[in-house]
Amino acid sequence: MVAFGSFVLSSLALSGSVSARRKDECNVARQIEIEIVEPRLPVVGSSSSASAFWLSDFKPGVQWEIVIHEPIKHDIAADLIPSKAKVWDIDMGHARDYPAIIPMLKSAGKFVVCYFNAGALQAWDKDKNKFPKAAIGHSLAYPYDSEEWYLDVRDSTVLKLQKARLDIAVQVGCDAVDPDNVDAWQQDEDDPTGFKLKPSDYTQYLKSLAEYAHSIKTMDGNSLLIGQKNAPEIAEDLVSSLDFAVLESCRGTTDPDEESWPFCKDFQTYIDAGKPVLQIEYPPSVEKTGKLSLSDKTYYCTPEGEDEGFSKIMKWASAQLDGWGQYCGEEPFRTPVIEE
């Protein structure tokens, strides 16, 4: 175990280079234990100790921003909005296609989480032709078609290709990854993926990805961190292996036409372990009118024990994670983005 102040994460040391490990992933990992009172390597901002983000800062309550549907503008770090957000969750594809984004964020002392689709294949993925057809399942909109299809996460080739994506994450400068679509068993259909996948299949899959992530180093010399996206049923099984969580709508919804399913309390186990929980809420009033209503403000921003210690941000909608955002008790803001 590697301890950074109160924040504890798992780490494996593997011999050889990243490329060598990809060629022979069956090499036996050597478990190491190091106790560090203060982290020796800042994550970012090494040119100025005042702007450095240390791993010990990645803890419950840290403020954050998430923009994955449009690339953020990356001309001048001083213009970054919201400036108080220390953690930034961006799309890994944007980080690859706009190589100036992450250096700009790091020059401003930010910790960068890179979103990627761990449980589904997207029509625009550059590596989509490498995935075996037998491992590509139903559309995410099943029985209707879409541009995303579930993956058989038990397949060894799928795991190998997703590990290669983790290699890309460190190459482009990510400090952590946010793996999406790892809870398909929750969908309404009897077999939403086409593979009859169970929660235990995703648990094993994420543990395998976490083991590999912790074995490779970021540009700052730290282990690549990996989070849990939703999936409360497996939180207890994953909290010791993963480093943080990203939740959507864990408070439920005020929309009378939608089923409300609160699940924040299942992730207090991460807070208890000193690991941050990055919480996104989608108030219906914002999506419908562009403004947070008083009733939604009361519902989403009144302190509750179930999400105590979480890092909360409100956004338009799950399909519109753009530059608009709002923190409880503050006015809305807009992160400047590039309209593609």
DSSP 196-255: ---HHHHHHHHHHHHHHHHHSB-TTSSBPEEEEES-GGGHHHHTTT-SEEEEESTT----
Looking at 256-334, which runs of residues are DSSP E strands? 277-281, 311-314, 324-325, 333-334
Where are the domains positioned within the chain?
A: 2-334
Report pLDDT digits (tens) over 117-133.
999 999 999 999 999 99
Crossing angle of the two packed helices 156-172 and 199-215, in degrees rounded to 10:
40
Q: How far is CA 331 from CA 77, 150, 328, in A?
A: 21, 38, 8
* Alpha carbon of residue 15 to chain centroid: 27
pLDDT value at position 316? 95
Give the whole-angstrom CA distance, residue 182 versus residue 115. Answer: 13
pLDDT value at position 29? 35
pLDDT value at position 42? 58
Least confident range of 78-82, 213-217, 248-252: 78-82
Q: What are phi and psi of 312, to 5 degrees?
A: -100, 140
pLDDT value at position 7? 34
pLDDT value at position 243? 99
Residues in Cβ contact with 232 at an 8 Å cutoff, skipping those fewer than 6 apart = 250, 263, 266, 267
Top mean-pLDDT range of 30-44, 48-62, 63-77, 119-133: 119-133
pLDDT value at position 33? 32
pLDDT value at position 4? 36
Average pLDDT over residues 231-242: 98
Residues in Cβ contact with 87 at an 8 Å cutoff, skipping those fewer than 6 apart = 58, 62, 63, 64, 65, 110, 111, 112, 113, 276, 278, 311
- Would you say residue 18 has pLDDT above 70? no
Class (C level, CATH) for 2-334: alpha beta
Give 45's pLDDT tier (boundaries 50, 70, 90): low
Share of the chain above pLDDT 90, in %: 75
DSSP state of 131: S
Residue 149, strand partner residues: 121, 139
Give the whole-angstrom CA distance, residue 248 versus residue 278. Answer: 9
Q: What are phi and psi of 114, to 5 degrees?
A: -110, 120
Residues in Cβ contact with 250 at an 8 Å cutoff, skipping those fewer than 6 apart = 230, 232, 262, 263, 264, 267, 279, 281, 306, 307, 310
- Would you say residue 19 has pLDDT above 50? no
**Strand pairing report for 7-9 and 2-4:** antiparallel
DSSP state of 135: G
- More confident: 55 or 154: 154
Give the whole-angstrom CA distance, residue 142 versus residue 139. Answer: 5
Report pLDDT digits (tens) over 146-177.
999 999 999 999 999 999 999 999 999 999 99
Give 43's pLDDT tier (boundaries 50, 70, 90): low
DSSP output for 269-281: HHHHTT--EEEEE
pLDDT value at position 37? 30
Mean of all residue pLDDT scores within the chain: 87
- Would you say residue 3 has pLDDT above 60? no
* C-alpha Rg value of the chain to the nearest Å: 19
Q: What are phi and psi of 99, to 5 degrees?
A: -65, -5
Tokens of 106: 């790091």
Share of the chain above pLDDT 70, in %: 85
Q: Can you tell me whether residue 145 is helix, strand or coil?
A: coil
